[in-house]
Structure formats: C-alpha cells, structure tokens
Structure 1
Amino acid sequence: MKRRVYDAAVQGNKILLLDLLGEDAVLLDRFITGRYPETPLHVASMLGHLEFVDEVIARKPELAKELDSHKSSPLHLASAKGYLQVAKKLLQVDPDMCLVWDIDGRNPLHIAAMKGHLDLLKELVQARPWAARVVMEQGETILHACVRCNQLEALKLLVGRASDHEFLNCKNHEGNTILHLAIAAKQTEAINFLISSTSIDVNCENDDGYTALDLLSQNQKDMIDKQIAESLCKIGATHAKENPLSSSQLKAIRTKILLSTWDQPNAVSKPKKRKHGKRLAHSNKNADWLERKRNILMLVASLLAAMAFQAGVNPPSGVWQDNGPSGFSTTESNGKNHTAGLSVLADNHPRAYTSFLICNTTGFLASLSIILLLISGLPLRRRFFMWFLMVIMWVAITAMALAYIGCLVALTPDHSYSSLITILGIATLVWIGLMLILLLGHTIRLVFRLIKYLRRLVMRLVNLISPRPRV
C-alpha cells in the first residue's frame, strides 16, 4: 500500500491517491506516526505535482511539517526546484517552515536564493521576512550565498527587502563580507552594485587583515582589477597592507576565500562555531525585536484608535436627547436652541469641546497612520522605521492624554475644581518628566550614532583627497 502511494506521488496521480485512501482511510497518518526517509508530500513537492500536493494538504496538513532524512521539509524541495504554486500551498499551512534548517543548515529562503528562483524568493520573503536574516550553519548570510552562487538579481532583491547596514556588512567565519567574496570571484556586476547602490563598508578587514582593495591586483595589465580599484578609491577605499600582494599570493588568498567552509559545513572548528553562534543569536535577536515591536505597535495602535473613535461618536457629557433651549438649565438658554443627537459639551463648553476634538482627532489619525503603515506591505523592517513608528505612537498617546485632561476640566464642577487642578498638575509633571527622560536617552543614542557616521564619512573624504601612497 505504501509503495503504491509513493508511485501515485511520483506520477502526481490524484485519482489513485483517492482510491488508496478509500482502501485505507489512515494511510497518510502512517507517514506521521512512522519513520520514513520521506513522505509522499516530499515526493510530490519535489516533482511539482500541484493537484496531488493540494489534496494531501487538504486531508493531512501536518505532513507539510514533516522532515525527510536530510531534514528537508516539502517547502525546501519546492524551493530548490522553483515550484511557486506548490510553495504557496505549503506556506498556507505553516509559514514558519521558512525558518527550518535542513541538514546543511539552510532554510527554504537560502535555497531559493542560491537557485535564483526570484518569484518564489519574493513569496518566501513576504511570508517570513526575518527568515532571510537567519545565518546559515556555515556562518554565512543569505547574501553570501547569492554572491557565491552568482545570483545578482536575488542579491538585489534581498538587499532591497530584507537587509540593513549591519546585515549587509555581516562577516562569515573567516571575517569576509560579501564584497570580499565578490572581489575574490571577480563578479564585476555584483561589485559595482554593492559599491554604488548599498552602504557596504569598503574598508572592512577580514580575519587575515585584508580589505577589499588588498584583494585586487596591482598589475596595470589586469584591466578588470584596475577598474574595480578605481571605483573603490573614488568612495574612499584604502589598503590595510602597506606592501601589495604578489600574483601568486593574491591567487592563493582568493582561492582560500572562495573555498572556505562552504562545502564542508560540519568541518567548522569549535571556536568558529561559537563565534557563529553569537552572530546567529544576534541576528535572530534583532529579527525577534523587530517582530515584537511590530506586534506591540499594532496592538496599542488598534486600542487607541478604538478609544478615540468611541470618544468621537460618544463625546463627554453625551448628546442631547431632545430639541430645546441650550445652556446649563432651561431658564439659562442664552437665546440658543439645542438639537437632539448633537454634543452637550459643544453647546455648554464650546472651547473645551474644540480642544477635546483637536486632541482626540490627532490621537485617532496617529493611530490609524501606524496601522496603515504596518499593513501596507512596505519594507518597514529596519530599526529606523520602528523608531519612527514609535515616535508617532508617542504623539497618539500624548494626544489621548490631553483629550482626557480636557474632558475632566469640562466635566468637573466648580467646588471640586481646585482638587482637580492639583491632581492634574502632579500627573502632568510626572508625565513630562518621563517624556523628557525618554527623549534625552534617545537623543544621546542618536548623537553617538551620528558622530560615528560623521567620523567614517570624514575618514573617507580624507582618504579620497589624500590617499595613502602605495609602496
């Protein structure tokens, strides 16, 4: 029976599958409870049989989470072959399968990028963006994999959607960035893209102390290296080694960079694994931080928007229930009439109502802006955008607090007014103090980052104006 269901998976024969399930209703369950090198879903996903995959998932979605003898999920196999529709079906079951490593320490996004399946890679990045930031077991990022496999379009896609300055300049076990790899492999298009369209650090040194410029030949006859060196020098690249490398040394170093631990993930030494573990933990921690912030911001923004909407349609003091003269009493109408359904506060305290309306509307719009940005699909996965959204959240919370204060002032009778002013004064001072502490902390952090960035910029300009003489 199991042999026949494997044959059905190879053929993609949905009718045969249904016949077999008619004979044995728990046939698919046996592949979950037993131990098999692979499931029929693995076979169908690898061969791109969409209808068969759809039928298996509909009856037994748990099979999408099963791993074969190489620790590959069906999504790994569909990603390797580039079957977009099959991958979409599998993602509907559990998008978190994007985070699962196979025996080589690669998740489906790594495999799709290495194979150059751009449409499928876009789908995977959209499903779980932070999966692209997970470092592979070999200590390299998905960007390293794109350069090693010469997948320039995949590299451009990932740099635009799932990368920031820190991740872009991440090093592998040997301390090589993607620029070191691109130069070692003489990938001219990738090098030009990195130095012209990204914030790659051109003066970053690997563990052997070589910068990108050190890996280029000093021989004027090598036109490719000469052109790359000129482009690097224009943006402030410098040599780390005073003595240029000979042709034989340069060839040996480039070979070492290209033939590192890529094909031997299990041959990494213990110190390197420890170093990689820290880097991986940092990457995962950063991705988790961003995801937690997104979730918290969405939750708080939704609550604030609901509060502001409720306060707007049901303002303080309520609404008039009938038509009649306005004022604090029927004998003190000031010659005005009120209309049923309109705000009582707007008639009795027009200035307080205007202040409430301004604060409440500001909080409502700020909350809606956060929700709109988070669900818009824009690449808001960098820390800068998270801080920007948090600033908008501060505005929303402050506006709601001011609306609350305005309501209390308008609704408090005269004999309790002094107590209210005292309480609000203390609360306001505490609030202002807390906001100033937060603002000061973030300002100091921003100033330090700005100083660090300006120092790097000045050093590049100095090197550009007066480059280090070559020996």
Structure 2
Amino acid sequence: MDQRSLEAAAKSGNIDLLYELIHEDPYVLAKTDNVPFIDTPLHVAAVAGKAEFAMEMMNLKPSFARTLNADGLSPLHLAVNHGHVWLVLELLKVDPSLVRFKRREGTTPLLLAVSNKNIDLISEFFLVCPESIVDSNVYGENALHIALKNEDQREGLTVLKVLMGWILRLCQKDGERIETRVINGRDKDGYTALHVAAHENNPQAVKLMLESSKINVNIEDKSGLTVLDIAVLRRQENNRRDIERMVKRHGGKRSVSLAKIKTTSDVLGSPLTWSESSQTAVIRSYAWISEERRNALLVVATLILTATYQTALQPPGGVSDSGGGGETSGGKTGSVVMGEATFIWLWVWNSAGFYIAALVTLVLLSLGQESMFRYCPLVFPLFAAYVVSGSVISPNSRASAIGLIGASMVLIIWSLVISFWQRVESKRAKVRGPKSGLVWEGFTTLDQARGLAPKGNVIWS
C-alpha cells in the first residue's frame, strides 16, 4: 500500500502526501532504497515531469538519482527520454556528475541526448560536465559515432557540428588529450567516427572532423582498412571522390602503403636507447620539484641571465670611444679597455654562466616532459644579441673566438661532471643502505626522514 501511495504522490507531484506517508512509516523510503533495481519515486516523478517533487526527493534520498530500474534506466535518463528539460537541469544543479552516469548498455544521458538529437540539452551537459564528451557505451561508440549513425543525415550533421564545436573549443589543461581520445576513439568494429562518416558517404561530416589537428586519418579498423580504403570502396559504388580527396590532403593512405609499425610490446621489448635513457633520467630528476622550488629556480636563473647579459652591455672598466683607445689590444672603437687576457677569462666564465642559466630555464619550463623547442624563441634572440655584443666589445676577433671556445669547453666539462655524478649516484643506489626493510624496498630513506631529501626522490645513504 505504501509503495502504491508513494507512486501516486510522485505521479501527482504531491509533496504533502509524501510527508503523510513518512509520518505513517519513517522507513517508507528506506524500503525502496534497499531494492537494487526498482522504479523509485524519483523515477516516477522524472517520467511525469514533476520537478518540485523530484527535487524534494533528491534532498531526502540523493541515492535514488543513481538507482536503475528493472529496465536499466536512471531518473535522469527517463527525464531526457521524455523531454523534461527543466527537470533535467534541476537534477544536474544538485549533481552535475549525473551526466556521466551509465544506464543499460553503458549509455550516458549525454549519449542519449545525442541519439535523440536534442542539441540544447547537449550544450547544457557540456557546460556542467565538460569531461562527459569522452564517454562511450559498451559498443565503444562515443557521441561522434552516435551522431553519425543517425538515420537522418542532415539532423546527424547538425548534432555533429555542436559536438565538434565543443571539442575544438576546449581550453582546459587536458583539452588536447580529450580531443585526441574522442576524435580517434574506436567502436567494437574498430571504426573511428571518420570511418563511420566514410561508410555513410558523408563528406560534410568528414570535412568537419578533419578540422581537428589531433585526428589520425590512418587508423585501421578490425578488418585492416583505413578511411581512405573505405572511401575508395564507396567511390566505386557511387562514383564520388569528395571524401577520398579530402582524406588524401590530410595525409590519408591506403593500408597496403602504410609502413609496418611496431607494437607496444615490440617497443618495450627492444633495448633502451641512449636518447630514451637520457630523457627518462631528466624527467625523473625534475619530477620531484615542487611548484614553489621550480619558481624559485626560475627566478635565480633569470637573475643570472640578467647579470651576465649586463656584463656584455657594460663590461668592467668600460669601452674605448676612439681608435687610439687606452690599453685595448685591438684598438677598435667600442672594445673593452681591459687587456686581452683579462677579457678572455671574463668572457669564458660569463658566457658559461649565461648559457647554463638559459639552458636551466628551458628545462624548468618544459620539466623534461615536452619539447623545449616551443620555448626556444624566448632565448634564441637573446643568444644572438649576446654573441653580437661579445664581438663588438672584444679587443679583437681572436679574443672573441677564444672566449666562445672556452665557454663551450666549460659547458662540455659541466655536462661530463653531471654525467659522472649520475653514475656515482647510480652505484650508490645499489648499496643496500642502513638496515631497514622500508629503505631496502625503496619506500623511504634516512635522508628523507631527516628532511634532507624531498619525498619521492629516493637517495640512498
């Protein structure tokens, strides 16, 4: 009787009746909550579109929002299916993560909205839960796949424009990773969304997705076919080459012409190269640096860059202002007043400090995990200006050349010393250290316990 009364209260949205039932039996909602698959009052309210009752139920029993009924549907799925947009938005205000809650066959509310071609709800879902775009169902189909498999190609294209518009506008920290996962996601047949568009002979959809810089046009499906292979097969059926031309312009190839690539197992089983070993060592050595220490090191490196560059602009003792100038060796205007030998020693050490500080700045900016090339424009103009300044203030070309070679030798020696010290540290790491199981197994060190070494950077003592 209680359950039938609860259902009646939910259908009519009668909150007063709900509390009358609670007065009669305080466990009336708990009895429903203990059943794993059931139509809760929130399910009933979602179907009926009773937003106020649904919100009251969310306050009393938030767990109902994540309960599936016997058909494998949650309240939010039911609200999306029945087009109760206001109720959907109210539920999401309470718990935005419901956008990613999966029903039967792994369908999320977002994927359901895509299937129903409800572009307004799709946009709202993205606003409250941006990460929901990466979700896929049990068949491996993400939102792009489902949009392209729409029976009405024009409606599917409208939904695809909204999806791609969101993907291409992502600016959060992991935006590139999300774009890569979605645009190259494969379903149970190994099809990416681009494969599906080629199968459906949908050149407009292909053009939309090719705007992504992260798309891989040469991914093979389970049959070993690339997008270009499918486009060629479809062209033989309908004598159209639009998709084929677009894919070729973006580097698409036939599967037979693709070079054989290594599997992940091949890569992991191959010998470690010098470049891989060096890169790993750099990343590990900087992985423990905290944000505060990194900022402090950047400040120190910047100060060194400023001080050493200032020496090139205003060398000690000044510069001569005429051809007959003082004690300069070369006697050219603008050259340093100091002697040639003094200048060489000054320029060697000043240049070494300048170059090392610049290198440390580049490494700290990339933390060894990305290419330093993108940051090179920050320091290359400074390098060029520094070298030109050195040639201007040097007593003669010989002094300038010796100074440059000397600075290079200092850098080489510094690199060798670092390499030697790393080998020493590597040998020290093989020593068992003090008698402690935690130290031997790498959980901690004596230095870490004393506060001499950062946590996570194991240094054997």
* TM-score (normalizing by structure 1): 0.49
Q: Deviations over 1:56-88 (max 9, x none)?
A: 223333322323234432222223334322122
Describe the shift of the 1:160–1:24 C-alpha distance in structure 2 as closer, same or farther (beyond 3 A). same
Q: Deviations over 1:404-462 (max 9, x none)?
A: xxxxxxxxxxxxxxxxxxxxxxxxx99988655444654764669xxxxxxxxxxxxxx
| The one of 213, 227, 251 aligned to 1:212 | 227
5+ residue gaps, structure 2, are 168-177, 258-289, 304-354, 375-461
Q: Deviation at 1:40?
A: 1.1
- Match of 1:164, SS state, is helix
Residue 145, structure 1, aligned to residue 143, structure 2: no
Q: Deviations over 1:227-260 (max 9, x none)?
A: 3333334444333358xxxxxxxxxxxxxxxxxx
**Matching residue of 1:136:** 137
User: What fraction of aligned residue pairs are identical, expressed as a percent?
Assistant: 28
1-structure distance, mates of 2:67, 2:360: 50
Question: Residue type matched to 1:147 in 2?
Answer: L
2-structure distance, mates of 1:212, 1:158: 21
Q: Deviation at 1:45?
A: 1.3
Describe the shift of the 1:189–1:61 C-alpha distance in structure 2 as closer, same or farther (beyond 3 A). same
Residue 240, structure 1, aligned to residue 255, structure 2: yes
Residue 161, structure 1, aligned to residue 166, structure 2: yes
2-structure distance, mates of 1:90, 1:437: 47
**Matching residue of 1:283:** none
- Structure 1, 93-102 or 438-447: larger mean CA deviation: 438-447
Question: Residue type matched to 2:219 in 1?
Answer: C
**Matching residue of 1:83:** 84
**Matching residue of 1:225:** 240
Describe the shift of the 1:436–1:192 C-alpha distance in structure 2 as closer, same or farther (beyond 3 A). closer
Instruction: List aligned pairs for 1:359-374, cutoff 5 A.
Output: none
Q: Deviation at 1:118?
A: 2.0
Describe the shift of the 1:35–1:160 C-alpha distance in structure 2 as closer, same or farther (beyond 3 A). same
Q: Deviation at 1:218?
A: 6.0
**Matching residue of 1:20:** 21
2-structure distance, mates of 1:438, 1:122: 38
Question: Residue type matched to 1:155 in 2?
Answer: L
Q: Deviation at 1:181?
A: 0.9
Q: Deviations over 1:159-189 (max 9, x none)?
A: 3334413431122233211111112123343
Q: Deviations over 1:84-143 (max 9, x none)?
A: 221222223332333332231222222222222222222222222223213332223232
RMSD between aligned residues: 4.0
Q: Deviation at 1:217?
A: 5.2
Question: Residue type matched to 1:160 in 2?
Answer: G
1-structure distance, mates of 2:37, 2:182: 38
1-structure distance, mates of 2:194, 2:105: 24
Q: Deviations over 1:28-68 (max 9, x none)?
A: 23322345522010121133221221222233333223232
Does structure 1 conserve the Cα–Cα contact (< 8 Å) formed by 2:203 and 2:242?
no
Does structure 2 conserve the Cα–Cα contact (< 8 Å) formed by 1:41 and 1:63?
yes
Does structure 2 conserve the Cα–Cα contact (< 8 Å) formed by 1:82 and 1:120?
no
Question: Residue type matched to 1:32 in 2?
Answer: D
Q: Deviation at 1:206?
A: 1.7
- Structure 1, 42-51 or 436-445: larger mean CA deviation: 436-445
1-structure distance, mates of 2:240, 2:255: 17
Question: Residue type matched to 2:3 in 1?
Answer: K
Residue 58, structure 1, aligned to residue 59, structure 2: yes
**Matching residue of 2:45:** 44
1-structure distance, mates of 2:301, 2:84: 52
**Matching residue of 2:100:** 99
1-structure distance, mates of 2:235, 2:27: 71
- Match of 2:106, SS state, is coil
**Matching residue of 1:187:** 202
Does structure 1 conserve the Cα–Cα contact (< 8 Å) formed by 2:80 and 2:109?
yes
2-structure distance, mates of 1:443, 1:134: 27
Question: Residue type matched to 1:215 in 2?
Answer: I
Question: Residue type matched to 1:174 in 2?
Answer: D
5+ residue gaps, structure 1, are 243-299, 305-392, 404-428, 449-471
**Matching residue of 2:111:** 110
Describe the shift of the 1:167–1:446 C-alpha distance in structure 2 as closer, same or farther (beyond 3 A). farther
- Match of 2:136, SS state, is coil
Instruction: List aligned pairs for 1:377-392, cutoff 5 A.
Output: none
1-structure distance, mates of 2:247, 2:358: 49
Q: Deviation at 1:8?
A: 2.8
Which has more radius of gyration? Answer: 2
Question: Residue type matched to 2:158 in 1?
Answer: E
2-structure distance, mates of 1:55, 1:439: 51
Does structure 2 conserve the Cα–Cα contact (< 8 Å) formed by 1:64 and 1:93?
no
Question: Residue type matched to 1:176 in 2?
Answer: Y
Does structure 2 conserve the Cα–Cα contact (< 8 Å) formed by 1:116 and 1:154?
yes
Does structure 1 conserve the Cα–Cα contact (< 8 Å) formed by 2:294 and 2:364?
no
Q: Relative contact order: is structure 1 or structure 2 higher (C-alpha 8 Å, sep ≥ 6)?
A: 1
1-structure distance, mates of 2:213, 2:100: 26
- Match of 1:170, SS state, is coil
1-structure distance, mates of 2:235, 2:76: 49
Does structure 1 conserve the Cα–Cα contact (< 8 Å) formed by 2:126 and 2:132?
yes
Does structure 2 conserve the Cα–Cα contact (< 8 Å) formed by 1:82 and 1:112?
no
- Match of 1:45, SS state, is helix
Question: Residue type matched to 2:9 in 1?
Answer: A
1-structure distance, mates of 2:243, 2:205: 11
**Matching residue of 1:171:** 186
Describe the shift of the 1:57–1:442 C-alpha distance in structure 2 as closer, same or farther (beyond 3 A). same
Q: Deviation at 1:212?
A: 1.7
Question: Residue type matched to 2:201 in 1?
Answer: K
Residue 122, structure 1, aligned to residue 123, structure 2: yes
Does structure 1 conserve the Cα–Cα contact (< 8 Å) formed by 2:301 and 2:357?
no
Does structure 2 conserve the Cα–Cα contact (< 8 Å) formed by 1:218 and 1:226?
no
- Structure 1, 432-441 or 155-164: larger mean CA deviation: 432-441
Describe the shift of the 1:194–1:401 C-alpha distance in structure 2 as closer, same or farther (beyond 3 A). closer
Question: Residue type matched to 1:216 in 2?
Answer: A
